[in-house]
Amino acid sequence: MKTIYWLTGLPCSGKSTIARELAIYLNAEILDGDAVRAIMSNNDFSKEGRATHMRAVALQAYRLSRDTNVIVALVSPLRKIREEVKRKYSNVYEIYVRCELGVCKDRDVKGMYAKAMRGEIANFTGVQDEYEEPLNPDLVVRTDKYSIQECVNQIIERIS
């Protein structure tokens, strides 16, 4: 069994960018939130919908981890479900990609935060819905204070 590196954090915190860089080093598969939602055709952003989505991604990551390292880049805002996933799958390594909300909003090239603040998007994490920060992540990287490469280096140093 290989490792599942679960990157969690606010939208636009840098999860996907870190995942792409880290995958090169780890020779890992990536399960990215946007891509996975498109494949699963899941547009249910209620708490129940998010919980179901997180569990489905965790199961897929677990299955893939039989053969390769897996990087999950997913907002995964529900602490209870992240903790449930870590209990169920012992090979999950939780990395909190921490970034101040204002910085995330400034980085938002798709304009999702602005749309959410105008009411065009419902249940958007960081605007209408809360992101529940991890209480005991395996690692915290600060993308609002360090470059993506520095954050990737922090991860590599920790897991080596």
Active-site residues, by number, are: 76
Residue of 78, 69, 83, 96 whose CA lies nearest to 14: 96
Determine the Cα–Cα distance for residues 117 and 31; give it in Å rounded to an integer.
28
Residue of 107, 114, 81 whose CA lies nearest to 8: 81
Determine the Cα–Cα distance for residues 18 and 26; give it in Å rounded to an integer.
12
